[in-house]
Structure formats: structure tokens, C-alpha cells
Amino acid sequence: MFTGLIETTGLVSALTAVPGGQRLRIETLLAADLTIGDSVATNGVCLTVIERDDTCWSADVSPETLRVTALGALGVGAAVNLERSLAVGSRLGGHFVQGHVDGTGRIESVADEGDFHRVRVSFPPRLAPYFIEKGSVAVDGISLTVASLDAATFDVQIIPHTWTATTLGLATPGTLVNLECDMVGKYVLRGVSLGVTHA
């Protein structure tokens, strides 16, 4: 479980094919604090540390993860958002993020609004029921609030800190991003679809 509050960013230092999938190696100062088996949200995707040293860590990315996320579009040198899993007793800042991506979206526009930025993201039609205005969404692992919404896109307002501390500051129209809809909303909709009205 994660919060969507990015700890730091890293750089993809190597991509290696493995049978059916890919091994991802990431250079980051965070590597020195990791241990084998740790979970790290990488652009919002929960990955498991399988190798590490003081400067880099590696994870295997499964075929399913490559299919449903934007990790397969990364190249060597790409920047990624990183967050270690939530520790019991920690303060919860953003919102509950599982690291289980629901689908990919696309940056449609980036507009300056003084020191702030407004980013418009398109999403697959099947995700439309999970978005509400002022609700939460994780974009490449970043906990954000839906500022406005229509049938195929939503806007998020980015504060200066988030713009400089995450990969959003590098986003341009056409950039693929990982989307994870709010977990609570998904469970509510699933319950409604099954006709669950009480415990």
C-alpha cells in the first residue's frame, strides 16, 4: 500500500529482456535504503526489489504489467517516480494507492497558470465510472485531485512542489501515464453492480 506522495525520482539505467518480461534497473539515492523483497511504487506500479546496491535497484516486470501499464514505453534515461510502501503507523498524506494500475492515459495538454500548471489527461472509456470531480486519482503514482471532468478527460491542478519533485514537470502532450482510480470508489461500484445494499 502507498500514499501517492512521491519520495524521490530515479533514472532507468538498464532494460534487460527476461523470458516473457523485462528487468528494470533504476538509479536512485533511495537504493541505499532498500532491501531485497521491498515493494517500491515505480510510476505508480508496485514492483519488488530483486537486486540492489548503494546506487541502483532492479525489479522484474511481468508480461501482464507490461501489457496494462506504461512501463514498457520507458527507455534508458527515463525519469520515474518512486515511493516505498507505507509503514504501519505512518501518517497518510495523499490517498490509499495500491500500485495496481487500472490502465494508461495520455497527457493531452499542459497549461501554465501562474506558478501552477493545469494538466489534462485522457483515459480509456472503461475507466469513466471511477472518476468524480474532486475525487482522487493516481497519475504515474502521484496522488492528485480531479479538478474537472468530462466523458473522456480529466484535469488536475499541479502545485509548484509536485511539478518540480516528480516527473510531471517533464510531461508533454502525448506522454503515456499510468492511472490508478480511487480504491474506495472501485469497491463501492463493484458492490452496487452486485446489488449489495448492506453488510
**Burial per residue of 3-14, b for 16 or more beta-carbon CB atoms within 10 angstroms, e otherwise:** bbbbbebbebbe
The answer to whether 57 and 26 are in contact (CB under 8 A) is yes
Q: Within a domain: residue 198?
A: no
End-to-end CA distance of the chain: 25
pTM of the model: 0.91
- Say what the pLDDT of residue 188 is: 72
CA dihedral 186, 190, 192, 193 (to 10 degrees): 130
Per the structure, the count of domains in the chain is 2
Give yes or no: residues 134 and 59 share one domain. Answer: no
- Say what the pLDDT of residue 97 is: 87
139 closest CA partner among 150, 154, 161: 154
CATH number at residue 123: 2.40.30.20
Give yes or no: residues 41 and 78 share one domain. Answer: yes
Q: Where are the alpha helices (DSSP H) in 104-157?
A: none
Q: Within a domain: residue 166?
A: yes
Parallel, antiparallel, or unpaired for β 56-61 and 142-149?
unpaired
Q: Within a domain: residue 92?
A: no
Last-in-domain residue among 26, 51, 84: 84
pLDDT along the chain (199 residues), means of 10: 92 96 96 97 98 97 95 96 85 79 97 96 95 95 96 97 96 96 74 68
- Say what the pLDDT of residue 30 is: 95
Q: Within a domain: residue 89?
A: no
Last-in-domain residue among 38, 57, 84: 84
Q: Within a domain: residue 151?
A: yes
Domain, as residue range, for 71 = 8-84
The answer to whether 59 and 50 are in contact (CB under 8 A) is yes
